[in-house]
Structure 1
Amino acid sequence: MSYFKLAFFSICASLALSGCTTFSKDGGFGDVKQTAAQHVKQEVVWPKTENEQKIVAERVSELLKQQLDADGAVQIALLNNKGLQASFYNLGISEADIVQAGRLPNPKFSMFYARNNGDYKIEQALTFNIFSLIAMPKMLEIERRNFEKTKQAVALEVLQLAYQTRLAYFNAVAANEHLLYSEQVKESAEASAELARRMVQAGNWSKLEQAREQSFYADAMLDYVNAKHQQTSAHETLSRLLGISAEQINLQKRLPDLPKTVAELQLYEKTAFEQRLDLQAMRLETQNLAKQLGLTKITRFINVLEIGPARVLEGKRGDPYKKGVDISFELPLFDWGGAKVARAEATYMQAVNRTAQAAFNAQSEIREAYSRYQSSYEMAKHYHDEIVPLRKKILDENQLRYNGMLISPFELFADARAQVASVNAYIEKLNEFWLAETALQMTLTGSASSMEGK
């Protein structure tokens, strides 16, 4: 075959294979949206143009005009969180790797020139990396699997943000309620301490009792200051996830009420293995490693193979060139590739066992999350049905006794504080339930560590 024909064949092969890989219309974002839609009902968008970004900003502004519930907060986060928007560009990077893998490297031209007393030696070669042509189908398959893995990872980031936003929302609303009731306890303790001070001045109360009331007030003041800090911290956490300032956040006044019943464990165990993105990603990684193992076995002997037309001139400058073919490749004299194959096989088996362990851990995590969900529901329900009504009943009864001058105002203050404390404890248990319910829902998506971004 003449070097012209060989060059033509190589160029045609390069053009044919390069044409097989092009950029998609949405860069894989449609698959990410489809995966996310299986777990969250909020819309996911990737605004690239200035007009698309303007539309998203207007929608965020509309959502901020009303009191936010948990779903509304998640929607703003998915629209406005810049960290998530940055993660979407991983899709473009990964897809570019696919396109690059489908293109042969540029041909190389080399030339040797020497002259001595009118005699010349000129060697010219145009070489093409034939090994790239051989390995291209495997490399394309590997990059396509990497792209699928990237889409899974980006979808997981979408769901991580939704999960973290729901947690932050419930914590922020609970912090508002805690601050409100902590302020009531502080005011009650302050009034009790002031009354005790006046009664001591009038000689009707001991300093020991005054110190006790003053101690109640000091503790209530510390609780109030801590509640203010917790509120600020919770609001700022939510602010970072939403990508807006804390002052713009208008939350609902109360946490959602407890549901009438709890879901059954079997519902979560049945669907988790089909929907969990971490398990899907690990399966893709294992398959990718299997493909890489096949590629490793192919390339264990020949690492670089280049072929192309060449011509050589030896003699006078006007003599004709001698035409031929230039071939170069590595000789496996010292490294026969056994270590490379053994490493690939060990890496593959490592991934297989890690995937099996992850599947076992998933089942255990679901049971643990369900136990927390069920126990937090029962505790919150007990506070709602038993403890809070009892504390209120005690306060109402002692209010009647106080009106009849049968008990002191200090006893009434103590009962009022106890009643407020029971409501505060109920809010805490109610918040724990909604956090547990969110965590349980997320076990259908990934492990607790993966959903927390660890």
Structure 2
Amino acid sequence: MNSLTRPGLRRLAVAASAAFLAGCASLSRDGGTDDVARMTQERIAQPAPWKRDQAAEATQSEVKAVLSKPIGADAAVHLALLNNQGLQASLAELGVAEADFVRAGRLPNPGFSFGRIRGGSETEIDRSLSFDLAALLTMPARSGIESRRFEQAKLQAAMQAVRLAADTRKAWYVAVAAAQASTFAGQVLGAAEAAAELAARMQAAGNWSALDAARERAFYQDAVTQQAQARLLADTAREELARLLGLWGPSLDFTLPDRLPDLPAQARAPANAEADALSQRLDVLVARHDAQATAQALGLAKTTRFINVFDAGYANKSTTGAPRENGYEVSLELPLFDWGGARLARAQASYMAAVHRTGDVAVKARSEVRQAYASYRTAYDIARHYRDDIVPLRKQIADEVLLRYNGMLASTFELLAESREQLAAVNAAIAAQRDFWIADTNLQFAMNGGTTDARSAQ
């Protein structure tokens, strides 16, 4: 009998020791936010800081320092990571996942019951102290599951931070480009107004037909509408950027640069883009952790398939006029109707679903990186074409028309019309430059973050 019970006792002692050590788990100082900051630093070269209550004053001072000068793209990303309330809420919610992890690693509380029955001259008192042995034995496995879920929560928070950085960067490009377009729309309006006024004077003097004068007035009216639309687009883009930055009140008076950054000298090379995406994309890592956690949960489901409730404890009983009775009691739920097959089948189905989801995420990641690079390369070629060919050619034509005008070989209206064409070409070049930087941001997010829509650059 001893040879049969001693190995079981040893296994129980080992499990109890492991559970006791796991029961020493405690809440961390940072709640997992340091790991999130590290992951964002590795992917976007900026951390995602958690704005704690005691650091609120220092945070506001840093926000004011950033707003005191024109905000560049990198500064906008830093400000969004620091001041966006939605991201700060997600970082704070990491504490919930950590609390679940710590709780799973704590020893279960014992149960105590007390009963007193009195009849006639006799009093009967029952006392018992019980302990959930099943929870004790499965605590290491449950702690491992919650640990993976905590890691998954950190990955999801990091993915939200990387997505916020990408959205902020794109909003910054759109806002700066819209402000440039609004400025050029004002210049077009000025040229159209001058042409319309000149046409009206020449018509009054009898040197210009009513048809030509009406055409100039119609172009001026179109320019008025286009400038209003450009101003609205600039205001809308600025508000979108302000929302992402978490700004309101007096902080809305922030300033932006006058123009977009220049194009890089060379376009990025694809290199090992697909392999890099699979190794560092946060949505791929989240899917892998989900599959691993589900697999571990399946192992726990097999372990506890037949044991749903297993309590053991000490009990004593005392009756008036009789010696105290001591002993122990064990409660075990008998699997007469539910043998755990449904729970096991559910766990297996969940695991297979997680495996297939991981494969689906990997296939989409490869495709999205290829698509994002194609959009990036096309946007770069178009923007460079405007910069190197179209805008210089339009400037050359405008200079030639100006020479002809100075030599009395071209009319004032030809000069104004060519100026309008040159401004339109510059405006299209600004849009192409904006689309390139948005495509560049989409490519970086496709490499590091998760799903992106390459068509958003349009």
TM over 0.5: yes
Aligned twin of 2:317: 312
1:254 match: secondary structure: coil
Give the CA deviation at 1:436: 0.4
Contact 1:185–1:417 (8 Å) recurs in 2? yes
Aligned twin of 1:131: 134
> What letter corresponds to residue 43 of structure 2 in structure 1?
H
Contact 2:312–2:331 (8 Å) recurs in 1? yes
Aligned twin of 1:409: 412
> What letter corresponds to residue 310 of structure 1 in structure 2?
A
Against the structure 1 CA distance between its residues 300 and 450, is the aligned structure 2 distance closer, same or farther, given a 3 Å change threshold?
farther
> What letter corresponds to residue 46 of structure 2 in structure 1?
Q
Give the CA deviation at 1:186: 1.1
Contact 1:286–1:348 (8 Å) recurs in 2? yes
Give the CA deviation at 1:430: 0.3
Per-residue CA distance 1:162-197 (angstroms, 9 max, x = gap)? 111111111111011000001111111122222222
Unpaired runs of 5+ residues, structure 1, are: 1-8
Q: Partners of 2:98 and 2:43 in 1: how far apart?
A: 25
Aligned twin of 1:31: 35
Give the CA deviation at 1:33: 2.0
Give the CA deviation at 1:105: 3.3
Matched pairs, number: 439
State TM-score, norm by structure 1. 0.91
Q: Partners of 1:153 and 1:450 in 2: how far apart?
A: 19
> What letter corresponds to residue 241 of structure 2 in structure 1?
L
Aligned twin of 1:153: 156
Contact 1:290–1:348 (8 Å) recurs in 2? yes
1:98 to 97, 101, 111: 101
**Greater RCO between the two (CA within 8 Å, min separation 6)?**
1
1:165 to 164, 168, 187: 168
1:241 to 240, 244, 267: 244
1:250 to 252, 255, 260: 255
Is residue 119 of structure 2 the alignment partner of residue 109 of structure 1?
no
Aligned twin of 1:226: 229
Q: Partners of 1:96 and 1:418 in 2: how far apart?
A: 64
Q: Partners of 1:144 and 1:410 in 2: how far apart?
A: 74
Q: Partners of 1:451 and 1:236 in 2: how far apart?
A: 23
2:284 to 260, 279, 284: 279
Q: Partners of 2:281 and 2:152 in 1: how far apart?
A: 13
Contact 2:178–2:233 (8 Å) recurs in 1? yes
Contact 2:97–2:150 (8 Å) recurs in 1? yes
Give the CA deviation at 1:13: 6.9
Is residue 305 of structure 2 the alignment partner of residue 300 of structure 1?
yes
> What letter corresponds to residue 299 of structure 2 in structure 1?
G
Q: Partners of 2:177 and 2:444 in 1: how far apart?
A: 20
Give the CA deviation at 1:18: 5.9
Aligned twin of 2:293: 288
Is residue 291 of structure 2 the alignment partner of residue 261 of structure 1?
no
> What letter corresponds to residue 36 of structure 2 in structure 1?
V
Q: Partners of 2:186 and 2:212 in 1: how far apart?
A: 23
Give the CA deviation at 1:308: 1.2
1:429 to 410, 432, 435: 432
> What letter corresponds to residue 153 of structure 2 in structure 1?
T
Give the CA deviation at 1:449: 4.2
Q: Partners of 1:351 and 1:180 in 2: how far apart?
A: 52
Against the structure 1 CA distance between its residues 297 and 385, is the aligned structure 2 distance closer, same or farther, given a 3 Å change threshold?
same
Identity of aligned residues (%): 45
1:20 to 18, 24, 31: 24
Q: Partners of 2:343 and 2:47 in 1: how far apart?
A: 46
Is residue 80 of structure 2 the alignment partner of residue 64 of structure 1?
no
Give the CA deviation at 1:443: 1.3
> What letter corresponds to residue 165 of structure 2 in structure 1?
A
Give the CA deviation at 1:248: 3.1
Give the CA deviation at 1:357: 1.6
Q: Partners of 2:313 and 2:207 in 1: how far apart?
A: 110
Per-residue CA distance 1:81-129 (angstroms, 9 max, x = gap)? 2222222112222111121112233222223443333344443322221
Q: Partners of 1:207 and 1:116 in 2: how far apart?
A: 119
Q: Partners of 1:267 and 1:178 in 2: how far apart?
A: 37
Mean alpha-carbon deviation: is it higher for 229-238 or for 286-295? 229-238
